[in-house]
Structure 1
Amino acid sequence: MQHLTQQSIRMDDVPLNRFHIKIAGLTFGAHFTDGYVLGVIGFALAQIKPQMGVSAFWEGMLGSSALIGLFIGSLMFGWISDYIGRQKIFSFSFIIITLASALQFFVNTPEQLFLLRVMIGIGLGGDFAVGHTMLAEFSPRKHRGVLLGAFSVVWTFGYVGAGIAGHFLTAIGPDAWRWLLCSSALPALAILLMRIGTPESPRWLMGKGRHEQAMAIVHKHFGPNVALNDEVQAVSQQRFLSLFGAKYRRRTAFNSLFFVCLVIPYFSIYTFLPSILQIMGLDNNFATDLLLNGLLIVGALLGIVLTVICSRRGFLIGSFIFLAACLVMLSLIPASQTAWLIAIFAAFTLVMSAVSNLVGVFPAESFPTEVRSMGVGFSLSISRLGSAIGTSLLPLSIAHYGMPATTGMLALILIIGAIVSIAWAPETKGLTLVDAAQDSQPQAENAFAAVAK
């Protein structure tokens, strides 16, 4: 392995260039598609239910179908990519997404639609695990937080785009839901075509001992004076169970738990937002949707800024505490206090969207190259499993226990997230990927000891 010279610079320290932007754009495409796919199903179900006679059970299954697929795909493909490489999954995932999205036009039963949306979720889940990893392994550390955090912004644009499309397309006729669902094939196909020729991660190649191939990619895209060298450790034949061994178990626990504690309230609330607003006594119309969607976008953009100027750890812990306090207040304030309800719900929406940027940052920075895709994939899969369970149970909870008690339970989940973050969240800002992965364990242990005292 060649050694760094005075003229050489590490890949972690190269200036941001066009290739970084290209990789970011290609990975962002998956998040836009995910936001769009999850956003359109609520509007489509309004037409599908009377046409197909969809039962309450199948309504819940269709609402959570893509999340179930995301759980399977991120777990499965994250593990596979650490063995066969990132680039193959990076392309194959969008073949699945494009075909399954287009075939939604032809479904005639809830079962058929469920299977296709699970397949879409599988493709998206695999792409998330690999996409986060690819971008983390190519990005310079100075800009890594912004690039990884921007996933949330792009997801939000996809979700808002689905809301706008749903409001207008569902009015064109009884079969509008078919066009609405299959429309996700268009961005998916565009992304698939643009990904042709994407190089393999040089960090993964170097870890596999394929030094010449790795350095050829580095020199082509970053310059002849750029080196990997000590940044990359050899990728051993790690088993999936190694994520739960002594070396990685705290990183696995932290990334899975903080992730799931954020997304359960997020998906539970915003999947059933019209019903929740009605229960809270707030108007639910296009203007209200536009206002809340606007806050989601502003919050996502704010999250990028806060990721740059704040510590990763402080941003996460502070947001968990603030969000839990908002939900506690929403559960206690009577429905007659409309102004307060709107203000608190708006603040919750803004901060929830902002801190969601960190779900793309922490997992990718916490695991070393040898298990990065497996670690990211597992964390993502657990988050989507939790989202699917929370989304399917929320209507039952509201019916049996009422909105205040349900809101209180969601606040408790956020409090658990805060405790987990105080105990185990590392500070990865400004570190190389190797340094971040090596330092996360002792930082977590020191933080836990401080809390115990």
Structure 2
Amino acid sequence: MANIGARIERIPDNKYNRKMLIRTGFGNTFDSMDIAMVAFVLPSLIGLWSLTSEQAGILGSSVLIGYFFGAFFSGWLGDKIGRKKVIMYTLVIYCLATLASAFAAEWEHFFWMRVIAGIGTGGESAILAPYLSELIASRYRGKYIGALTGFHSFGYVAAAVIGYFVIPMSEDWGWRIALIITALPIFLVLYWRRTLPESPRWLESSGRLEEAEKEMSRMEANVEKYIGKLPEPTEFVQPPKAKGSFFTLWNKKFVKRTVMVWILWFSVIFSYYGFFTWLPTLLYNEGFEISKSFMFSILIYLAQIPGYFSAAFLNDKIGRKKVICAYLGLGAVSALFLSQADTSTTIIIAGFFTSLFMVGGMAGMYTYTPEQYPTIIRSTGTGSASAFGRIGGLLAPIYIGFMYPIYGFIGVFLMTTGVLLVGMLSTLILGEETNSKPLDDLTADDDDINKVG
């Protein structure tokens, strides 16, 4: 009997795949809009609560603190209870916490609500890439996971637009209304409940073969609405069942991959959140009024769209490893130029390319990471790498908050240059190309997968 992987591999690219991309992409868009909004409300909060640079840095890291726990535990839960349930529950958590943060009366209350919101956004972002990767044939996977990551850019641009038009409307209520708007996607859960399938790969790996067959048959029926009768799948022997855990990531087969992706995630997320969380405030501190700093941010955030989607296109053309190394290397060069920029034009140009190349590397990273692990630990592996990366993400705004008064604009972006280079080198030295390899080829033997060390 053909297994689920064989049945998915013979499905050509089609309209159903694209619909699944859009459905899951909504999650990344709203996650990023929620995270990015902190950067735009931060200047208002600094004035409202007379925050020090250090306190502002702590607030800037609040979402990332929750993100760490959300990403780690959602990966584990995704392998235990299923991908779909985690996607829906995490959406509800972040929307409700974001709504509560809009009514915060003091910065400590705002901080804790943003931490809880981060649990939701972190959990959802960590589970979406492995989920979609399990539904797409290997020859299209790089394009789709890169494009899925690209939906983050729409969230950042939406946050910048809301920040530009809504926050200046009222000194007292502008930032609160902006946060209320970012909580509205809670209604998306009703749509997801009806349209998202559970991963048949995960159901199969969990021994729930009847449910796997039901979901797979439903997927095939949806695909055949657009392309007609599917060809018969290649016959595969059902792989033996094995159990995995967090400790499986550290056995002999996976330890080099795990070290590589953890360094990569830490480097990219440190640079990403340090850059985007502080960008409007740094521009404001450099002498640009708040409305102009928000407009500059919109232009720089717009660079994420070509960054993500160019990398998504190249993922399947030249390979994930080359995409990551090329984009992070060019991002480091752009950050170096940004550190020397001293006019509006040079800041926008250097910031545009820093943004473009940084997120392009992220598109490669989100595609590359789920491919390092078999189904039974794919969610755990991706979630733990994402969680470790969030340590860098939560440290970056705090570190910049302390560093900026001492080393200024130049020091912040020289640091970004160095950190991006570390991520590039870890992939170059430790990484192996995974381009177009079927996910089932990553499955280890039982003896390997259950043995640590």
**What TM-score do the two structures reach when normalised by structure 1?**
0.87
Q: 1:302 aligns with which of 307, 310, 325?
A: 310
Gaps in structure 1 of 5+ consecutive residues: 439-453
Q: CA deviation at 1:153?
A: 1.9
Residue identity matched to 2:33: Y
Task: Write the deviation string for residues 373-402 of structure 1: whole angstroms up to 9, x where unpaired.
Answer: 100001111111111101211132222234
Q: CA deviation at 1:160?
A: 0.9
Residue identity matched to 1:143: Y
- Distance of aligned partners of 1:280 and 1:102 in 2 relative to their CA distance in 1, 3 Å threshold: closer
Residue identity matched to 1:249: V
Q: Which has the higher contact order (CA 8 A, sep 6+)?
A: 2
- The separation in 1 between residues aligned to 2:400 and 2:329, in whole angstroms, is 22
In structure 1, the residue matched to 2:123 is 126
In structure 1, the residue matched to 2:449 is none
In structure 1, the residue matched to 2:28 is 31
**Aligned residues of 1:9 and 1:225 also touching (Cα < 8 A):** no
**Aligned residues of 2:320 and 2:365 also touching (Cα < 8 A):** no
In structure 1, the residue matched to 2:416 is 410
- Tell me which moved more, 378-387 or 13-22: 13-22
Alignment of 1:45-56 (within 5 A): 45-56=42-53
In structure 2, the residue matched to 1:76 is 73
Q: CA deviation at 1:32?
A: 0.7
Alignment of 1:37-436 (within 5 A): 37-173=34-170, 174-187=172-185, 189-197=186-194, 198-223=196-221, 230=236, 233-277=239-283, 284-331=292-339, 333=340, 335=342, 343-436=349-442
Residue identity matched to 1:204: W
Task: Write the deviation string for residues 348-370 of structure 1: whole angstroms up to 9, x where unpaired.
Answer: 23222322211320111111101
Provide the secondary structure at the position in 1 that maps to 2:169.
coil
**Aligned residues of 1:323 and 1:411 also touching (Cα < 8 A):** yes
- Tell me which moved more, 379-388 or 215-224: 215-224
Residue identity matched to 2:275: I
Task: Write the deviation string for residues 207-249 of structure 1: whole angstroms up to 9, x where unpaired.
Answer: 1222222122111211486659749745533221221222221
Q: CA deviation at 1:186?
A: 1.1
**Aligned residues of 2:325 and 2:361 also touching (Cα < 8 A):** no
In structure 1, the residue matched to 2:448 is none
Residue identity matched to 2:177: W
Task: Write the deviation string for residues 21-68 of structure 1: whole angstroms up to 9, x where unpaired.
Answer: 343223212211122112212222333333344444432222111111
**Aligned residues of 2:126 and 2:386 also touching (Cα < 8 A):** yes
Residue identity matched to 1:117: R
**Aligned residues of 1:280 and 1:335 also touching (Cα < 8 A):** no
Residue identity matched to 2:425: I
- The separation in 2 between residues aligned to 1:377 and 1:19, in whole angstroms, is 26
Q: CA deviation at 1:79?
A: 0.9
Aligned residues between the structures: 432
Provide the secondary structure at the position in 2 that maps to 1:361.
helix
- Distance of aligned partners of 1:341 and 1:85 in 2 relative to their CA distance in 1, 3 Å threshold: closer
Residue identity matched to 1:202: P
Gaps in structure 2 of 5+ consecutive residues: 222-229, 445-453
- Distance of aligned partners of 1:435 and 1:9 in 2 relative to their CA distance in 1, 3 Å threshold: closer
- The separation in 1 between residues aligned to 2:270 and 2:153, in whole angstroms, is 16
Residue identity matched to 1:423: I
**Aligned residues of 2:324 and 2:360 also touching (Cα < 8 A):** no
- The separation in 2 between residues aligned to 1:147 and 1:352, in whole angstroms, is 19
Residue identity matched to 2:306: V
**What TM-score do the two structures reach when normalised by structure 2?**
0.87
Q: Let me know the Cα RMSD of the aligned residues.
A: 2.8
- The separation in 2 between residues aligned to 1:281 and 1:307, in whole angstroms, is 40
- The separation in 1 between residues aligned to 2:341 and 2:26, in whole angstroms, is 42
**Aligned residues of 2:328 and 2:424 also touching (Cα < 8 A):** yes
- The separation in 2 between residues aligned to 1:323 and 1:256, in whole angstroms, is 19
**Aligned residues of 1:138 and 1:201 also touching (Cα < 8 A):** yes
In structure 2, the residue matched to 1:450 is none
Identity %: 26
